[in-house]
Amino acid sequence: MVRARAATAVTRAVIRPRAGAARRAALAALCCALGACHSPLPEPVTRAVLHLHGDGYQRGLQHGQQQRHRIRAFYTRLLDVALFANLGREQPAIAGFLTHYQRPEYQNGNFSYQLLVEMAHSVATTLPKELTDELQGISDGCGLTYDQVLVLNTFADTVMAVRAIASTLRLSRGPRLKSVQFVGMKDGKGEQAKAIDYVPLAHALTTSVPLDASVRLVLNDPDGVDPATVRVVMAEAGKPPEVYEAGSPGYQAEPDGATGLAVTVTRAGGLPAAKAVSLLVFSGDLTVVSDPPPAHARFGREEGFAFTTLGDARAAKEVPNTAPSDGRSQPPPIAAAVRGPASADGVLRMAQHFALLDAGASSDATLVLVHHPPTGPAFATVGWAGVAFGFAGMSASGLSWTCNFSDTLDNAIVKDLLPKVSKLSTAQLSATGWPIGFAMRHAAGQSASVDGAIEALSPLQHLMGWQCLLGDATGAMRGIEIDADAKLIPAKTVEGVHVIGGKASPPGPSAAGETADELRMSVHYVENLVDVDPAIATVATALLEPTGVPVRIDQQRVVSTYWLKSLRTFGQLGDALRQGRGTWDVASLQNLLAEPRFVDTSDSMFAVVLEPKARRLHHAAGALPATDAGWQVLELDAEAP
Amino acid sequence: MTSALPVASGKHVAPFRPARALGGIAAILALLAAAMPARAGTTDTLPTGTFLLDTSYVIALTDKQFDRNRREVSLIEPIERYEAGGGWQGTLRARPTVDMRMFVTQLLYGITDRWVAGVIVPVAVSTTIVPNLGWTPGDWNSSLGRPYSEKDFWEWAGSMGQPKPAATWRGNVWTPADLVLASRYRLPESDAMQRLGLRWSVMVQAALPTGREVDPEEVIDIGTSGWWLHNFGDVELHLAADWRLRDAAGLDRLTLGVEAWYAWLRTKTLQTPTGAKNPLLLTYSPYVGDTHEVDGGDWQAARVAIDVVPLIGPTYGTWMTKGSVAAAAGFPPLLALNLSYDFVYLQPTVWTSHDPIWSDERARYWGEGYKHAFAATATLSLLRLGAPLQLYVRQRSLDLVAGKNMRPANATTFGVRLLAKFW
């Protein structure tokens, strides 16, 4: 049975007159004398807790009726005004590639909605009737069409999948970091060490670099690299980063072949002794892309690597690649779990600060749903008005989850596209699979245990990449990494769930947990390191190269724009967990989630601290960033209203 | 670096809607209270059968508002723009200036010596709004290789059908405002009051909705209804009293007046923007409702005024008095100066719609508040010289002392009054 301790929350700053001033008091007295004493108007609610009872349709209907106007506001502001309009800007690029989208039904501003509703329909084919009934109930209650509600409940997964493809298309045309050479570093024969082909790694690229070495980076782009766009950031742990760009001391650039640019960076005073140093490289080419506006050069992905200098005896794999921050990015979402010696009292606790797309809309529409289905345990999700799930939740039996997206090309759109790859010109995008929020609801209804939940999640076809933490009332915890398991040659069974803690990721500085009682996550895969079937990458390259479309289908660490900043935040989260080891309680975890290094001030959406054993869900939502909203607690052991 | 997710939006917390924010620029209409008296007594009426035609040209300027903490802020809140997944695009800033010109005609008639009635016809000559847009760059955008500049932002917005507002908006050309009907009755004085030089009066006025409402789909616009001018209520009830210090010749050399009034503002039903012209900035109706209501909040106000006569001037017996100097001596002095202070308490304006958050955001600068209005008027009366004319100039200021939740419009008025009696 479930009860909300704080059934509704007013989280906006209350306007209160400042007290005290005699003049103010005199004015107030005058106003009252004139018959005009007024109490402040009630503040609007930006976070609500809603209990839903009955079967799927009934719960959806209650949701839709009671949140009617918040749902409509959220849909209009996030989808109509923000997402559809901006996604529409991608139509020329997508329609140029997939000519199906040149058809009349996609014109006149209908592209985005039409694209997303078609994908939503393909998603709906995988969902059980109880869930689609619930969406119908929301629709009937709030007055949006069923299709609109369907889009609202699927777009997070489908748009992230579209975004992964669009981003790959865009970045594939930008400069690439081809090689890294440490000038002055000798090989075994005493000669200048050869350049290292650049490969994105979660650990150091090389070790024991001489202190007087320079770093020579070769960038390549078919259209030529613009030296004016190159920016290199170098940092050692605990020191402010140093920026090298055209005109900076220590920065040199020269052509490298017809389409390359060699940039050499030399640190004044030499490299620090016995340190791990990391570099960040950003560059654009000489073209100008003017459609859609504004005009800009084509930029490549931000790349970064780490190395150690002479005196640091660690092996490369012992040194995490924690790319320096140059203040130009927001941190991605984080999640962590602690128990046993890692927590203050040995009890399992989980924490998450989720960020994706506030767009100035979601923080006004936050909603904690507490479902009381006729069968199975009650469960709560932290989400938004009109959305039947959340990316964090807890069942009354204690099963708890947090999910962060994981940017990958191993998604349902790519999977659905594979059979159509020979007819790309007429192919239509679809995405068949379970949105993560519904998948987690399904798992929570199936089992009270982490292992049972993994068992329930494993056979599902998933839509997009996700990273979830699971915990239960017994103190069991697991991380899982999810993808669509797209394979060039389809397997009989879907293997889209990868459990953290296998041989590939033993506890350590680059792993999800430095000890067996800690787990941390950001948005990059730790276990699922070969997310994209290499055969797909090979075939895609072979098929697309002759067409002149330089699309680089590759692993997450090679193509995702989130990967490097996720490494950075992941490293910082590991530092924080280590420093606080043995002290983590609810308050300290809440403080951790509010630390500026973990707060995306633009797109923060909610934060939670979960206590599976106590069935307590602490949530912060309804402000931007979410942790500014204050914390409330939902006790799932209490009696339902 | 941020990567641009192909979605974007703007916070509706700060709507780019200068039009409404510019509402209440007024303090531009003198109205009956000031037009009626030959001088500034708050109880003056006209002699029986006398017409007074008052025409004035008003220049009202405003470029700021006072917030709930009485701080001076822009008429338009900064608007934070977000490109979801791409982070904070930047902050759109505006420091608009509003220049409103009005032509006000007032026709008053003395029904009896104690009772006067009139009609006030305000017409907007033109309104000019210069938004003075500015921009604070936001997060670094890895797709652009730079943070959004203002130019980048408007190009981005333009690609989604959202035009950039014009650098200068001009409208309301010869557009009627709300027409006002008014009547004042000077109450009978007791013997004691007469001995003490005290008079009192009651006045009612009512506005007819002849003014223009804004086009809800326009980003920059301002109406001419009483709500937009924010200087008079739909119905007002005034009680006034004054005390006059007379010289040996029976002339009022000093008048002290007090007045209190209540202004009732009716609840208006307004069309909600659909975003037809400004999809990014004004798509509200799907969740706000096709219409919404605005309860303007009533006002309670009080005035103190002092009227001094520095110069009586020469007095001639003319055609107006059939040659009687004695009769002409009853006319107003050649020069009269009036100083007044108004305290206007504003009840909160309440927006009601389907979306409480939207309504709350509209009301951010329209909470409970007050105005401090100071005015100085100099009136040159030619009646004693044989011309039935009065010329006056008035300066009214609402920002000498900061108000609360109000938009101060400082107005300069040039007016002329013509008195006539036909029977």
Instruction: Spell out the domain ranges in chain B.
Output: 9-421
Distance CA A15, CA B349 (A): 15
Measured in angstroms, the CA of B422 and the nearest CA of chain A are apart by 42
Measured in angstroms, the CA of A543 and the nearest CA of chain B are apart by 26
Are residues A36 and B347, on separate chains, in Cβ contact within 8 Å? yes
Nearest partner of A525 among A332, A358, A306, A317, judged by Cα: A332
Are residues A86 and B358, on separate chains, in Cβ contact within 8 Å? no
Are residues B145 and A284, on separate chains, in Cβ contact within 8 Å? yes
- The answer to whether A161 and A413 have CB atoms below 8 angstroms apart is yes
CB pairs under 8 A between A and B: 202
A27/B contact by beta carbon, under 8 A: yes
Confidence of residue A535 (pLDDT cuts 50, 70, 90): very high
What pLDDT is stored for residue A560 in this prediction? 96
The structure tokens 């002092």 sit at B306
- The answer to whether A563 and A200 have CB atoms below 8 angstroms apart is yes
Measured in angstroms, the CA of B36 and the nearest CA of chain A are apart by 25
Q: Stretch A62-78: mean pLDDT, rounded?
A: 96
For residue A363, pLDDT over 90 is answered with: yes
Q: Stretch A98-107: mean pLDDT, rounded?
A: 92
Distance CA A337, CA B261 (A): 65
Using left for φ > 0, alpha for ψ between -120 and 50, and beta otherwise, residue B386 falls in left
Three-point CA angle B258, B259, B265, nearest 5°:
160
Q: Stretch A288-292: mean pLDDT, rounded?
A: 90
For the stretch A2-22, pLDDT in tens is: 433 333 333 332 223 333 445
Q: Stretch B21-50: mean pLDDT, rounded?
A: 52
Element (H, E) at A206: strand A206-209
Q: 3-state class of A134 per DSSP?
A: helix
| Helix, strand, coil abundance in chain B, percent, nearest 5 | 10, 45, 40
3-class secondary structure per residue, A531-572: CCCHHHHHHHHHHHHHHCCCCCCCCHHHHCCCHHHHHHHHHH
Distance CA A95, CA A162 (A): 13
For residue B419, pLDDT over 50 is answered with: yes
For the stretch A469-525, pLDDT in tens is: 999 999 999 999 999 999 888 887 778 999 986 555 566 666 898 899 999 999 999
- The answer to whether B76 and B83 have CB atoms below 8 angstroms apart is no
The structure tokens 């797909």 sit at A536
- Residues in B closer than 8 angstroms to A8, CB to CB, are none
B72-75: long-range contacts, CB 8 A cutoff, minimum separation 24: B72/B399, B72/B402, B73/B365, B75/B18, B75/B21, B75/B22, B75/B407
Q: 3-state class of A99 per DSSP?
A: helix
Q: Stretch A61-69: mean pLDDT, rounded?
A: 97
Are residues B287 and A75, on separate chains, in Cβ contact within 8 Å? yes
Cis peptide before A332 (omega within 30 of 0): no
Of B9, B300, B367, the CB nearest to A360: B9
One DSSP character per residue, B328-373 reads: HTTSPPSEEEEEEEEEEEEPPPEEE-S-HHHHHHHGGG-SSEEEEE
- The answer to whether A263 and A225 have CB atoms below 8 angstroms apart is no
**A578 to each of A505, A565, B69, how far by Cα in Å?**
18, 20, 45
Are residues A159 and B6, on separate chains, in Cβ contact within 8 Å? yes
What value of ipTM does the predicted structure carry? Answer: 0.87
For residue B132, pLDDT over 90 is answered with: yes
Q: What is the DSSP letter of A83?
A: I
**Span B9-421 CATH architecture:** Beta Barrel (2.40)
- Residues in B closer than 8 angstroms to A67, CB to CB, are none
The alpha carbon of B403 is separated from its chain's Cα centroid by a whole number of angstroms, namely 14
Distance CA A383, CA A387 (A): 7
Measured in angstroms, the CA of B13 and the nearest CA of chain A are apart by 8
- Residues in A closer than 8 angstroms to B139, CB to CB, are 328-330, 602
Residues 132-171 of A with CB under 8 A from B: 159-160, 162-163, 166-167, 170
- Residues in B closer than 8 angstroms to A523, CB to CB, are none
Measured in angstroms, the CA of A33 and the nearest CA of chain B are apart by 10
What pLDDT is stored for residue A506 in this prediction? 65
